[in-house]
Structures are given as C-alpha cells and as structure tokens.
Amino acid sequence: MSEKQFLVNDLTLRESWRIFHIMAECVEGFEKLPEVYPAVSIFGSARTGPDSAEYKMTEKMARMLVENGFNVISGGGPGIMEAANKGAAEAGGKSVGLHIQLPNEQRPNNYANVRLEFRYFFIRKVMFVKYAVAYIIMPGGFGTLDELFEALTLIQTKRIRSFPVVLVNSKFWKGLLDWAKTTLVKESTISESDFDILNIVDTPEEAVNIIKRIVVV
C-alpha cells in the first residue's frame, strides 16, 4: 500500500468514527432538552463582566422569563451566558448551559442546572434553535452575530417556524441595522419586510412582554 493510500484510508476511518460522535451529541440533546420547553435562548458576549449594565440586565431578564413560565438556554459560558443562567437558576427555573470547549474564553459557568457538552458547533446550534420559542440577542461579538443571522436566515427561508428575535440595546445595534437598510435593502439582497422578523428594545420588560405577547405557552 502506498503512503498516499494509507493516509486516505486513515482519514476515511477517522471521519467515519466522527459520525458516531456527532450522533451521540444529537441523541443526548434530543433526549434531554424536551424537558426544558418552553425555553428562550439568550446570546451575548462572553467578555461582559458581572458589574456591567448588560450583565445585570440579562440577569433580570432571565429571572423575569422564569417568573412568566419560560426556561432559559445559554451557551453555558461566562459573561452574558453566565448572567442568563444565573437569573434563571435563582428564579427556580431550568437554566440550560450548552457548553462547548474553546481555546480561550469559554469556561463553564456555575449556574446552569441542566448542562450539555458539545464538541461540534453545528450540533450545538441545532439545539439552540430547536428547543427555543424565542431568541434574545444581547450585545456580543462574532459568535452572537452568527447565532443572530442563522436564526434570521432560517426564519426568512421558512426552514423553521417563525419566533420572536429580540435585539436588546438599540444604540449597540443601530449601526448594523442602518447598514443593512442602506446597503442590503438598497442592493436588493434582502427585502424591507425581512426586518419584520426583528424586535429592537432597550429594557428587560420590553423584551419579556414581546415574547409573552407572541408566544403562547
């Protein structure tokens, strides 16, 4: 057997075993997460400190969601994720942490009372959207934007049921939304009506009220 063929066979074997890891993560999520319905997925920066206004707002919002019959799902790490899990747990709700191992800022927080570990981002993303009745998007970075735009794409293309997508902090999101309206709409890469998917608010009360109004539990 040539060296090239040996490497090809080795790669094929490793890829085949990877399928079982993927299946295992799917099965664990599908078995464990139905118990948290109805849940709201909350996203935001892992770098947000506990003394920040965004952290405290997220904590309050998660608490209010639980008080109104919802559970909370986060990425299970620090920052906004920790605030979401903390508020939900302290209010007596199911506080879900979908944790993924990353080289830098992702460490599990101590407030998730339902925790799943993921190796694969794409399986984790399935769980966020499959078991959520709404998304709340706090200020964040690339990961937050990734979750936001994936949800918008899936709703826009009708690959999933429509649910509320709530952006919190209108000042933070203004530049992005202005660019989308003046560039994407102008170039006809999206439609003006696509903005109907979004709700922009500045307080926890507004965010929770939108979800309560739209989502029947």
Which CATH number describes the domain made up of 3-214?
Answer: 3.40.50.450
Global pTM reads 0.90
Averaged pLDDT score across all residues of the chain: 92
Query: Is the confidence at residue 3, as pLDDT, over 80?
Result: no
pLDDT band at 30 (very low <50, low <70, confident <90, very high): very high
d(CA 127, CA 80): 18
Query: Is the confidence at residue 217, as pLDDT, over 90?
Result: no
pLDDT band at 6 (very low <50, low <70, confident <90, very high): very low
